[in-house]
Amino acid sequence: MRTIRTILLGTFLLGSCSLAQAEPQVIRIATEGAFPPYNFVKPDGSLGGFDVDIANALCAEMKVQCKLVKQDWDGIIPGLMAKKYDAIVASMAITEERKQKVAFTAKYEGGYSMLFGSQQLTDSSPAALQGKVIAVQKGAIQEDFAADYYEKAGIGLRRYPDTQTAMLDLTAGRVDAVLLEVGNVYEAKKDPNLADYHGFGERFQDPKYFGTGSGIAVRKADQALLGQLNQALASILANGTYKQINDKYFPYDQYE
């Protein structure tokens, strides 16, 4: 009897292990959910946007299950370090400062930043913007640049928790322009309430502030995951999946 029980128990454990092995690996991926069209919250409460579609495409390529996590920007790296999730796909610029804390994949996004304000504004130089107030997202790469380029030149600078709140203050007349990623500018042009505003002036992309493109951030210890993500990224760039996602959101090549 003991022999039969042992056999049955062994068979059960073997079956359980097989089922466990059959279940896909789950990778928890964080994004902000307040940076359209890169990431946003849809009317049904789910997360959407370019970053979300890229994350799902990478998970499909890796044959793992994506679990998306919404995380405010100012806590997004601390949340990764605290192991609340495994990776960040949130249009995060690859900068030297961030590389001290996290490991990045190869870039999956390029771009530049520019000011967005009323049609009367055309010159983005500090001399032309004396007496104006510029808005930036706190903790974003645009903040450091604007602090050095504009605030030190006497231009008013207001910091916001996300770009959506900054845009609300722009339309309310509390600020004169918002420093945005180029994709945010194209997205804003779709809003009829912003018909009197436009992107203007210089394209800002100094690597000192804006990095070398945006990458996927993981903890430095997670080198295996980093390798998986890089391999999957190379695949979606080569097989046309990236282009399909790009063309859904942008009228230009977001990778450049």
Give the dihedral of Cα atoms 244, 90, 211, 108; nearest 10 deg: -30
pLDDT tens, position by position, 145-170:
999 999 999 999 999 999 999 999 99
List, by residue range, all CATH 3.40.190.10 domains of the chain.
Answer: 2-110+213-249, 113-210
Structure-token pair, residue 21: 């092995």
Return mean pLDDT, the chain.
92
pLDDT band at 3 (very low <50, low <70, confident <90, very high): very low
Burial class of residue 201 in the structure, from the number of CB atoms within 10 Å of its CB (0-12 exposed, 13-18 middle, 19+ buried) = middle
116 pLDDT exceeds 50? yes
1 pLDDT exceeds 60? no
14 pLDDT exceeds 50? no
Q: Look at strands 26-31 and 65-70 and give their pairing.
A: parallel
CATH number attached to the domain at 2-110+213-249: 3.40.190.10
Q: Please report the pLDDT score of residue 24 as a whole number.
A: 72
Give me the mean pLDDT over the 87-111 stretch: 97
Instruction: Output the pTM of the full model.
Output: 0.87
Among 12-26, 37-51, 94-108, 239-253, where is mean pLDDT lowest? 12-26
Structure-token pair, residue 35: 């940076």
CATH number attached to the domain at 113-210: 3.40.190.10
